[in-house]
Amino acid sequence: MPVDLSQAGPPHPYPASGPRLLPWLGIWVLCCALGAAVVLLAWPSGVPASGAGFWLSIVGAPNALFAVLLGIARAGYETEYLHALYHNQHRQAWLGKRVADAQRPLQVLAAAYYLPLDGEPLAQVVAAGNVLIKSQKPRGGGGNGLVMHTQLPEPIPAAVEEIDTIGSTDTSEAIQAIGDDTAETEPPAPPMPGDGFGDVLSRLFIPLAHTLHRLSRRGAALAPAVRLLSSAPDPDQTRLRQLHAVLAEYSLDALDCDLAPVTTGLMLADAWLDAGETRPLLVIAAEWHDTPPAGSTEGGVALLLDPGKRPLPTDIPVIAALHRPAAAPLDALADGLSTALLWGKSEPAAVACAWISGLGAEHDAALARAFGQASLAVVTDWKAQRHPDRILGHAGAAAGWLSVAAAIESATEGPQLIVNQTQTVESAVLFAYPQPPHED
């Protein structure tokens, strides 16, 4: 669940001041006057009103009373002050630990996507702004109706060139390493034609399989867990069985895999961090439509994330850092953005680019207002915003993760902001690291 700092409560206020001079000067005068009067009235009639005893009683007793009263008041002030001090110190230490834990990012070890892009890089296509979504007939038929969407070609034997890889070795090497690093092997046969979802999954594993094998051979502590997200209803877990089948194709069937709720979105990263897992997490999100929703796209994305709690093999580079996401309703998006910036250890002025998905043009005004309230002046300008949905179509469960992959691919220096709407609006900060050029 999201980190909740409200449990710390408000700080305790310190007392305004100690005993004040003028009020206590009045009390001293009153003590002296009343004390002297009482002593005179109580003084024995047969005893001379003179000598050290008399003056000690007249002067000393009232001042002793005043000192007792002043001491009680000062002790009360000190008690209240120390109580507030210790509470606030403990609160600050608790907040510091919670914030430090929340600012620990997930390391991105590899990323891949498969989309109808005609071989062009996703980040470049989105930045160019040339709309690819178009009105066309769904593959499932549906009469003569046309739907605005983009779609993948029908499944054919997977071609390595059609898979875009971020931060891995060149794809031919990755395929050669499947099952055995020392033996050159052909890519596994893709699923049967017509099984489009399985085809998308299989293609995503082509550039990642070698890295997954290297991690798995290091033992259970580094064997990645696999979580699959898809928008399509799957009551009989057909998608999960397809994932198991694809893992078996790549000799990775020993990996722990499961479905994640589609509404999880980027908050899957938050849940993984909260769980205290030491294992890497392979997030796979894919979409395939026989009857596509209007404004949608097909495709998939896979990201290999690591909590950074155990040393990684030296030959597996870290290509980016994804900080803990924050979730907020649209009308409180500014609070969510501010929290995401806190988790990402980033100043608002340093954010030069925002990747936004799940929010249509009708949300532009609310988005600009939230950016302004969060002091994100740079990304308030539409030129600093990237909207993959408006270029390709909405990718369903994959939308937010595709924005992460595109941000990594763009290699923009400094913090980048990821904004994705599911049931709430999720925000996260990402740092992309310089990547070595791929060998030809």
Q: Is residue 149 included in any domain, yes or no?
A: no
On the question of pLDDT at 436 being above 70, the answer is: no
Do both 346 and 317 map to the same domain? yes
Quickly tell me which residue has 């929010």 as its tokens.
359
Per-residue pLDDT band at 158 (split at 50, 70, 90): very low
**Structural domain containing residue 76:** 11-41+51-103
Quickly tell me which residue has 């501010």 as its tokens.
338
What is the rounded average pLDDT for all residues in the chain? 84
On the question of pLDDT at 112 being above 70, the answer is: yes
On the question of pLDDT at 7 being above 50, the answer is: yes
Amino acid at 343: W
Q: Is residue 173 included in any domain, yes or no?
A: no
Q: Is residue 168 included in any domain, yes or no?
A: no
What pLDDT, on the 0 to 100 scale, is given for residue 9? 79
Per-residue pLDDT band at 165 (split at 50, 70, 90): low
What pLDDT, on the 0 to 100 scale, is given for residue 181? 39
Neighbours of 345 (CB within 10 A): 16
What pLDDT, on the 0 to 100 scale, is given for residue 345? 94
What pLDDT, on the 0 to 100 scale, is given for residue 179? 30
Do both 16 and 37 map to the same domain? yes
Do both 376 and 342 map to the same domain? yes
On the question of pLDDT at 363 being above 70, the answer is: yes
pTM of the model: 0.79
Do both 209 and 337 map to the same domain? yes
Do both 99 and 230 map to the same domain? no
Stated as kind and residue range, the H or E segment containing 421 is strand 415-421
Q: How many helices (H) and strands (E) does the chain have?
A: 14, 15
What's the rounded mean pLDDT across residues 160-179? 39
What pLDDT, on the 0 to 100 scale, is given for residue 290? 83
Q: Is residue 186 included in any domain, yes or no?
A: no
pLDDT tens, residue by residue, 254-264: 999 999 988 88
pLDDT tens, residue by residue, 272-318: 999 889 999 999 999 998 888 899 999 999 999 999 888 888 889 99
Do both 250 and 362 map to the same domain? yes
pLDDT tens, residue by residue, 413-431: 999 999 999 989 999 999 9
Report the Cα 65 to chain-centroid distance in Å.
Answer: 62
Do both 135 and 64 map to the same domain? no
Q: Is residue 32 included in any domain, yes or no?
A: yes
Q: Is residue 372 included in any domain, yes or no?
A: yes
Do both 21 and 119 map to the same domain? no
DSSP secondary structure string for all residues of 335-349: HHHHHHHHHTT--GG
From the list 388, 316, 326, 320, the residue with the least C-alpha distance to 358 is: 388
Do both 16 and 111 map to the same domain? no
Q: Is residue 362 included in any domain, yes or no?
A: yes
Do both 373 and 237 map to the same domain? yes
What's the rounded mean pLDDT across residues 69-92? 88
Do both 55 and 127 map to the same domain? no
Specify whether the CB–CB gap between 329 and 179 falls below 8 A.
Answer: no
pLDDT tens, residue by residue, 119-148: 899 999 999 988 999 988 887 665 567 888
What pLDDT, on the 0 to 100 scale, is given for residue 142? 59
Check which CATH number belongs to the domain holding 260 and give it: 3.40.47.10
User: Hey, what are 307's tokens?
Assistant: 């909590």
Residues of the chain above pLDDT 70, percent: 88
Do both 23 and 117 map to the same domain? no
Q: Is residue 151 included in any domain, yes or no?
A: no
User: Hey, what are 396's tokens?
Assistant: 């369903």
CA distance 361 to 390: 9
Q: Where would I find the beta strands (DSSP E) of 290-333?
A: 296-297, 299-306, 320-322, 326-328
pLDDT tens, residue by residue, 101-110: 889 999 999 9
Tell me how far apart the terminal alpha carbons of the chain are, to the nearest angstrom. Answer: 44
What pLDDT, on the 0 to 100 scale, is given for residue 187? 46
On the question of pLDDT at 374 being above 70, the answer is: yes
Amino acid at 1: M
**Which residues are within 8 A (CB) of 365 and not within 5 positions of it... i.e. 6 or more apart?**
none
What pLDDT, on the 0 to 100 scale, is given for residue 178? 23
What pLDDT, on the 0 to 100 scale, is given for residue 172? 32
Report the Cα 202 to chain-centroid distance in Å.
Answer: 28
User: Hey, what are 272's tokens?
Assistant: 């993984």
Provide the number of structural domains found in the chain. Answer: 2
From the list 194, 192, 191, the residue with the least C-alpha distance to 202 is: 191
